[in-house]
Amino acid sequence: MKPINLMVRSIGYRLLFAWVSLLHKIYYRRIIIEGIENIPEGKVIFSPNHQNAIMDALAVLCAVKKPIFFMARGDFFKNRWIAAFFRFLRIYPAYRRVEGFHNLTHNYATMSKARKWLLSGGSVCIFPEGGHEGIWQLRPLSKGLFRLALETQASVPREPVYVVPVFIHYSSYTRWGTTLYLKFGKPINVLSTYGLWKMNKARGISELKNTVEIAMKQIVPHVENNYYTFIVRFAPFALEKFHVNYQSVLKQYVNHCNNLAKVQPEVMQLAEKKFDEFDRQIQKLGISARCLWNDFSLNRFLFHFTIRLVLSPFFLLGTLYLSPFFLLSHVINSRIDDRQFHSSVRFVLLSLQPLWHGFVFLITLLVFRNFAIALLTTLFFVSYTLLGFHLTDFFRQGFCEWKQFWYKKQLRDLKSQFEEILHTINFTYPYVAENKIRENIVSRY
């Protein structure tokens, strides 16, 4: 099989890659990446959980920082212009049964391209769960990834092909300016199951699938159905409190609650009841987890208030400038029932901002008949766009600081209620960290 020359990359692709990478950095308030050193050189297939549509692919792409061959659901390729654009981005169709059995034969061509890409030393990313779903659970894995890995291994039986499990997590699926977390697990050498696959292909695929599934479960927190809502809704407050190690806190917290639900369900029932009262007050005051745990300083509040007062005209002008973007994203997302697509729509529209900047430049040039004024005006709005989230977050934080000042007593009571819930479920992150040597955390109960 003739490999693909990965060095052939158009200038258009490089420019688009650089632009998307820049936007991806400013789209989130915080990006945490762990285990990047686990990515080996050579033929690598990334196996992430799938929660947030296109944003999942961008998360892997911008973390790895090199071209990756992606597969996306086949119905995205119905429009030939969109299909051409996706292929330009190295995204190819992977049809599912729900999209028609007659389309499944097209997957052979996609798999053939993916093998060529791998044999050229490139990386492929396949979401083995299939469609995306915003739940804190690892769903059943399909076999396409493992079939590709073993068939590629057969082409180079003396060179390793690796599968790298990836965990992707968002503090919010729909809002921008939130936290994105990625964890790359230990690579799995496909050679370990290649011998079995040569003797029995079905057993070989099943063995590799089980191996990858176990590896993904080690890094992907899986919340059991019992008390799922309570565990997920309480998590942001626990993560904001124990923010020293995001992944460790999340994993320990989920495992702890799952074990407690099995061993002492009555304790979880009591904690859930207390949290319902806590959550009612949180919703009434409009307090976020970040607002609850941020330290308040009157001097800092007054200092920030003065800065916001000075910057407010520029902020309002910039917001007015970007209002078509906000309005269009709201209109489009209001017609999309799948909330997991909302961030993707917003990001795609944000990536088209250069067209809007160019339009404003031309209008300003026609109105003032002065190139310098048009250029400076456009540069001002471009800089506002690039700093948009940070400036928006700065003003949004002002509301948080005001609530901290105005609801000082209520927040103190809420913190006490939160500590009481933590005490009820007996979860204290430093305690768990100090007792990792225990074989079974259930013994703590």
Paired residues of 30 in beta bridges: 179
Residue 45: closest CA among 166, 182, 205, 163 = 163
Of 131 and 51, the structure prediction assigns the larger pLDDT to 51
**pLDDT in the model for residue 445:** 38
E runs forming strands in 100-240: 123-125, 161-170, 179-184, 188-189
**Backbone phi, then psi, for 188, in 5-degree steps?**
-110, 120
Give the CATH superfamily of 11-219.
Answer: Glycerol-3-phosphate (1)-acyltransferase (3.40.1130.10)
pLDDT digits (tens, 9 = 90+) for 356-368: 899 989 999 999 9
Give the list of residues 6+ apart from residue 10 with CB closer than 8 angstroms, or none: none
Q: How confident is the model at residue 373 (pLDDT cuts 50, 70, 90)?
A: very high
Measured at the CA of 23, the angle between CA 18 and CA 29, to 5 degrees, comes to: 135
Q: Read off the pLDDT of each residue in 149-176 and give the average, rounded to a whole number.
A: 90
Tokens of 116: 């060529």
Give the list of residues 6+ apart from residue 27 with CB closer than 8 angstroms, or none: 176, 177, 347, 350, 389
Answer positive or negative: Cα dihedral of 124, 130, 134, 139: negative
**pLDDT in the model for residue 228:** 92
**pLDDT in the model for residue 388:** 64
Helices 388-406 and 298-321, axial angle in degrees (round to 10): 140
**Backbone phi, then psi, for 6, in 5-degree steps?**
-70, -15
Predicted confidence (pLDDT) at residue 108 exceeds the cutoff of 90: no
- How many CB atoms are closer than 10 A to CB 123? 23
Strand 161-170 relative to strand 43-48: parallel, antiparallel, unpaired?
parallel
Predicted confidence (pLDDT) at residue 274 exceeds the cutoff of 80: yes
**pLDDT in the model for residue 102:** 67
List alpha helices for 335-387, DSSP H: 342-351, 353-368, 371-386
Q: Are 259 and 439 in contact (CB under 8 A)?
A: no
**pLDDT in the model for residue 100:** 62
Distances (CA, A) of 335 to 332, 348, 431: 5, 16, 47
Kindly report, as residue ranges, where domains of CATH 3.40.1130.10 are found in the chain: 11-219
Q: How confident is the model at residue 98 (pLDDT cuts 50, 70, 90)?
A: low
pLDDT digits (tens, 9 = 90+) for 124-135: 999 998 877 888
**pLDDT in the model for residue 429:** 52
pLDDT digits (tens, 9 = 90+) for 313-325: 888 888 888 888 8
State the DSSP H helix or E strand holding residue 329, giving kind and residue range, or none if neither: helix 323-334
Q: Which of 85-89, 158-162, 424-428 has the lowest mean pLDDT?
A: 85-89
**pLDDT in the model for residue 73:** 73
- Gap between the Cα atoms of 321 and 382, Å rounded: 10
Find how far residue 301's CA is from the centre of its chain: 32
- Gap between the Cα atoms of 62 and 138, Å rounded: 23
What's the whole-number average pLDDT of the chain? 84
Q: Read off the pLDDT of each residue in 240-260 and give the average, rounded to a whole number.
A: 79
**pLDDT in the model for residue 436:** 39
- Gap between the Cα atoms of 406 and 285, Å rounded: 10
Of 438 and 74, the structure prediction assigns the larger pLDDT to 74
Q: How confident is the model at residue 389 (pLDDT cuts 50, 70, 90)?
A: low
Q: How confident is the model at residue 270 (pLDDT cuts 50, 70, 90)?
A: very high
pLDDT digits (tens, 9 = 90+) for 396-443: 888 888 898 889 899 999 999 999 998 898 876 544 443 433 333 333
**pLDDT in the model for residue 7:** 41
Paired residues of 46 in beta bridges: 125, 164
pLDDT digits (tens, 9 = 90+) for 196-249: 999 999 999 999 999 999 999 999 988 988 899 999 999 888 888 876 556 677
Q: Read off the pLDDT of each residue in 155-169 and give the average, rounded to a whole number.
A: 93
**pLDDT in the model for residue 344:** 86
Distances (CA, A) of 404 to 177, 286, 426: 20, 11, 28
**pLDDT in the model for residue 428:** 60
Predicted confidence (pLDDT) at residue 351 exceeds the cutoff of 70: yes
Contacts 24+ apart (CB under 8 A), 381-388: 381/318, 381/321, 381/357, 382/357, 384/314, 384/318, 384/321, 384/322, 385/318, 385/322, 385/353, 385/357, 386/22, 386/26, 387/26, 388/26, 388/318, 388/322
Please return the burial class of 391, using the count of CB atoms within 10 Å of its CB with bins 0-12, 13-18 and 19+.
middle
Please return the burial class of 437, using the count of CB atoms within 10 Å of its CB with bins 0-12, 13-18 and 19+.
exposed
Predicted confidence (pLDDT) at residue 86 exceeds the cutoff of 60: yes
Tokens of 79: 């429009």
Q: Read off the pLDDT of each residue in 377-401 and give the average, rounded to a whole number.
A: 79
- Gap between the Cα atoms of 322 and 129, Å rounded: 36
Q: How confident is the model at residue 156 (pLDDT cuts 50, 70, 90)?
A: very high
DSSP label at 68?
E
- Gap between the Cα atoms of 156 and 119, Å rounded: 8
Find how far residue 183's CA is from the centre of its chain: 11
List alpha helices for 228-297, DSSP H: 228-241, 246-263, 265-285, 289-293
Distances (CA, A) of 367 to 362, 364, 372, 375: 9, 5, 13, 13
Q: Read off the pLDDT of each residue in 385-405 and give the average, rounded to a whole number.
A: 79
- Gap between the Cα atoms of 262 and 112, Å rounded: 46
What is the residue type of 64?
Answer: V
